[in-house]
Structure 1
Amino acid sequence: MNIEDALLIGDLTEGTVIAGDKGLSREIASIEVMEVPEVISWVTPGILVMTAFYSIKDDSDKQIEILQTLINKGAAGIVIKLGRFINSLPDSMIELANKNAFPIISIPKEVSYINILTPLYEKLYEEKQQEQEKSHNPFHEMEHANTKFLSDAIEKISEIVNSSIYIEDTEGRLLYISNNFRPDGWRKSKTLFSKPDYQSYLKMLEIWRVEFLNQTYTLFKIPGFRNRLVLPLISSDKVFAIIHIQYMNPKYDEVPFVHAKKLGNKLSELFMSDQLYLQKKRLNDMELIEHYLADMKANETSEVMAIIHFHADWLKNSHYPSQFLIDHSCLIRKELLQLAEHFRENDLFIFERYHKFYALITCEKQNYPTMVHKWKELLSNYNQRNDLDPLKLSISSIMNDSTFFEERVQSVTKTMEIGNKVKPSENFYTYDQLGIYEILINLTSDEYAKRYTDSILNSLLQYENNDLLETLQVYLDENGNITKASEILFIHRRTLTYRLQKIQELLNMDINDPNNRFILRFCLKFKELS
């Protein structure tokens, strides 16, 4: 409690700061009523002195001396009844208080000391009790924080223990993680739903599930790494998730039962609240997409839309049949929304189709190339931070008519499938780049196209030396550059030249002719996609 706080308590609210108002932040450690002028023997730092100056009412020099002593001793301030024995203070006393930012508070003569002292004593006692509790409860600050979101609570705990915090489900899948995560002996990856790297993690999870039937937390130590508190998150008497709190300070080795339980309960409530919020956000986005498509159809607009499709193995957890209230789909949406925060200037909605995740994003037509480039950079940065299971992304062409919405969803899904097939090492695909492959794939069911391709390549496919097909492919990919092609194939230039001559004989085609190269590229790609 400081002077400013005290002025809001009990009858001290009747007081007026007449000097030293810049020192209102001075902390009050104790309160005493001064009856004798010899203060030097009993004044202590942080004391708030109350007096009417009865014994020195006619000695202004003594009043100033007492004030100087209080300042020198580090007192909090002085409360003086004016109008009873003295009506005013010397100007030099006011000047001294202002110079040292030492509060002088005047109270009316009719105010009783007891009506000031009692509530202030109660407040000091309450604060001392809280300090004592805090010394025994390392998570006291967290318990009393007005935290509304689970992610904020995780960061707060991480700040308290100065270490990584993360939450896993009962099978070890990662659900939440603090911003300061560092790989440790339990897990290396911070990818959503990734599993622990600890060799016996399944056995440990089973041990903890049993221990949590009778206790509120357990301690876990891995040689060479930070120790950790492991707390269960519980709903309806069932453990649905586990929080790992790493620490170095030995005071966390013995967290009182009641405080561990309070912390676990608070985090469980925040987890459930977060799930509910994310579910509502999903329903709200679905409604907004419907309204947006309807408005676009009814009204002319300069904006265009594109559909984005997200793909990664961890996205498949959206339909994981989890027990005990964890909605994995909502956590995926949360992860994707965080990635999309960089597009605040655009309307963006996350939605799902058959357990696949998409986003509808708007932009001005001329800004579409910039938007695509920005997504590519974001994806690259994201995958550098989460390299265990990279996220892939495909973007549709633009549309300004909502009639084509479902068509674009199918198209961007097909673009992802084609990208995974023809460019599996890449993570970013656009319809502009891969749309031609969709045409080729559709042609693979055309009988005339099949017969044409076979007539061109059969003589080469049936030849006993299978290296010729690969040689032709590399040679065409390198635009006829013999030096580069031979380096890629790890063969001598003469060997490559011999193979190319043999290929021309079998195909009965001049492979240096641009038209023939086009035909061969088409046929090879057709075979690859068939």
Structure 2
Amino acid sequence: MLLKDLIQIPVLKDARIAAGAEGLNRSVGTVNMMDAPDIIHFLKPNELLLTTAYAVKDHPETLYSLIEQMAEAGCAGLAIKTKRFLEEIPGCVIEAANRLQFPLLELPLDHSLGEVLNGALSSILQNKTNELSYALDTHHTFFNLILKGEGLSEIVEKLSQLIASPIVILGSKLELISLSSVIKPNIQLLNKWIRQFGGSKNGLEAGLYTISDLLPADGAGFVRLQPIPTPQRPGYILAFMHEEELRTHHALALEQAANVLGFELLKAQAVKDRARRYKIEFFTELVQGEITSEQEIIHRGKQHGLFPADSMLCVVCGRDSDDGFAESEQDHAAVERRARETDQLYHTLSKEFMKLGAPFVLFTLKDKFIALLSAKELLGASPDGKLRMSQQLIGISERLSAREEISLSYGIGSPFNKLVDIPVAYKQAMDAYRLGRSHNKQRFVQYYHTKDFADLLRLIPVDDLQEFIEETFEAWNGIDEGEQREWRKTLRVFYDNHCHIGETAKGLYIHRNTVLYRLNRIEQLTGVQVRNPADSLRIRIALMIKDLVS
């Protein structure tokens, strides 16, 4: 209850506002009556103090420090019954109360302090009862809308009607979810508010926000924000207002609407999660090759947005930070947080893929995001189609990196025409993604191509490759390092020229006898037959691995 409303009750209507009139909007939670010298230690925030000033009658100037202490403590005001122990309020006290905008009331002799105390407390309790009754009625109003089958838009319209203000519902990323249509909000004003306050990464708190740099046509200059409590993605109610002060009933309506909207959004999210789970189950079966009929794929896929196309692409998208993340090694809170991040990224990627201007279907599989896109629109017939698509995907990665510090990479399979070929295209896209990962790349776009021998070697752990090199050249351990380098160079050229001595000599710019000498020395010191098919194959592989590892 506000102090300006409390002083309208019968026992206070004749009280004189001696000072601090600008602070009458202070909230009064309770009333206290005391004349102790150390009274400040017993006062609480939002408390109105009634006193006869008996404790300070001999030193009225001490009221000055009491006023300052009460203002600092957040008290509602001070009401003094003069003409008994204190003839008048000192001028310095009045000056301090005005400066601090702290209400100072002068009580007449008509009512005792006990009567004032009882009347004020009764009024405060009645006001609380009215507020609770209004809150309960408002909650029933909103909840009955849900029971009647009404949805989010109807609740928003009812709230707008109750508080006579435009209403906007925003999601956790400040994306627009709903807005009132009868009392329409100013969209330009909404965008201005988002630009001014939307940069916070820790969410927005309930309260009043003042929009700066208003134009005459903007209208409302204040926004009352009320968070919507939901477990995963909290949203916000925004009420655009022309005045800074918010009526208590309006605040209660916002609170009750937030509770009911939280339930409604949670219900809607549960429906979406169930539909998405069915979608994931279908596409998991599909990419794993468990659905082999084209007709069955078309029949089951159409409810998830999958339709036959002339040419399609499978794109695997993964976070560069996913390397080394294992759910089994994380606590439950970390796994839950990761799941929420995946869910948010799914919605963000959906919006980004929509900007590509091509039909697509997006789903998640473990920690990866799989997109089936139309190759006709994205690649086209021009030879630079792959380059153009790579630039578009890298653009998505750069935008996400700038906004949310998320780095993404992509693997893309070969184009396909039949839906039954999706498992093959998915395997190709995953192979391309893993190939890019094996090169320790970040934010890459890797197209599938048939692997050459070096690509296959990269799929083998480095420790195993190093062990193969050491075993192959174990007999070389006693040889000088300089001579080993000379041997390796000779053998590379020798095998590249199909073991032809003359061509090897030309390639090394040495005499053919020097080539023969080096080959014979290798055979004598290591026991390896350089022309033997098995030995030569092992040496060639070891030399290739050594170049690859280094």
TM-score between the two structures when normalised by the length of structure 2 = 0.40
